Amino acid sequence: MTDNKWADMPPLQAQAGIINEMARSMLDAITGDWDHAAYTIMRFGGQGSGSFEIVTSDGSIRLGMERAAFRLSIDLKRVMFVKGRGSWFSMRLTLRNGGPVEAKFDYETKPEFDSQILGVTPYWTSREQLEFPRDKAHQPPWYAELLDRYITAEQARLDLWAARDRLWAEVGQTSEVSGGSRLITLTSGVGLLATDGYSNPAPQHPGDPGFELYLPSTLFDGDADQARQTWPCKALNYLIGVTTEQDIDWPAQTADGPVAVIYIPNYANDTPEDWRGPQRDDEVCGLLVGVPHPGVPASLNGPQGPIRLIGVLPARPQEWAYLFSDDAAARPTVAARLAGLDARTLASPDRPSVA
């Protein structure tokens, strides 16, 4: 946020005042022999980087350490913003020993960040446009191209999001998406927490309509925020993390029946003791991935093709032990026995073991 003392000044006066403070801060940071010093700063989409070079009388260059001027450049970029024209992308402030201060600003050239964690991408261009909007006439070609790419991708994402809203509404009463998930209440009264995003287009899976995970529970009898505080949701969060990190293709993994996943929660474990195992004081918990639920279709007819819906349930210790055994009949047996349960029993925190 721009310092109030600059906000209360006319823009040109504020600009001059900030540049003077930056120059004083640079001067205070210079020690030893010097002829001139230059601070090059790039700011784009909320990102920033800077290089403070001090040149000695013999022409050698050393890097200086200075932070105040770098922070002041945030205010400088804001007070120099002109509606429809934006603000600068990079600047260079030069001090000469015994001479004048010179400031130059570049409104056109694409910033070239040295750090791998900073970049000029469609997303960061959209952030720049949001904070320092430019009319078409004042957008450099590279900027306009990146912004158009962001707008196109964002519209596609919103269209897909809206499509999933409509499709889930055919399954049950659905909440808005928040935190990457939604709550759907079926006519049976069972609530589902479903992910929203695995069916977004992904460069690593071109043309794949994707899938979404969902977890049914009779504990999800309030709103979405309440559902997210229950112990089954914490299990789902673990699975989401692993799925994202390892890019797991659950439709392929579960084609032959449920898959068992075990884990130890990385924070307070409030999973009931009879869902942990195999020892009474054990922290190990489990999940069954690939369990259909009554009233939930196998897929949603998404814009890019069928979005597979992968049901998830907490697993009893006996169930994951059975699935991890060498018994070839384990997966079809567990699948058949779970299919024999009614909707509310299947989603109950008191569901009996089927192994």
3-state DSSP assignment of residue 148: helix
Same domain assignment for residues 171 and 261 = yes
Single residue among 100, 118, 136 that ends a domain in this structure: 118
Same domain assignment for residues 114 and 168 = no
- Per-residue pLDDT at 352: 96
- Per-residue pLDDT at 280: 55
- Per-residue pLDDT at 178: 85
> Does a structural domain hold residue 101?
yes
* Structural domain of 224: 164-346
Rounded-to-10 torsion of CA 283, 289, 293, 298 = 160
How many domains does one find in the chain? 2
pLDDT by residue for the chain (355 residues), tens digit each?
Answer: 455 788 888 999 999 999 999 999 999 999 999 999 999 999 999 999 999 999 999 999 999 999 999 999 999 999 999 999 999 999 999 999 999 999 999 999 999 998 888 999 999 999 999 999 999 999 999 999 999 999 998 888 888 888 889 999 999 999 988 888 999 999 999 999 999 988 887 778 888 889 999 999 999 998 889 999 999 998 999 999 999 999 999 999 999 999 999 998 877 788 998 999 876 568 899 999 999 999 999 999 988 889 999 999 999 999 999 999 989 999 999 999 999 999 999 999 999 999 9
CATH classification of the domain holding 16: 3.30.500.20
Q: What sign does the CA torsion over 227, 230, 234, 235 have?
A: negative
Same domain assignment for residues 54 and 188 = no
Same domain assignment for residues 333 and 184 = yes
Same domain assignment for residues 185 and 325 = yes
Query: Do 345 and 248 form a contact (C-beta atoms < 8 A)?
Result: no
Same domain assignment for residues 34 and 98 = yes
pTM for this one? 0.67
Same domain assignment for residues 100 and 209 = no
> Does a structural domain hold residue 124?
no
Same domain assignment for residues 107 and 173 = no
- CA distance between the termini of the chain: 60
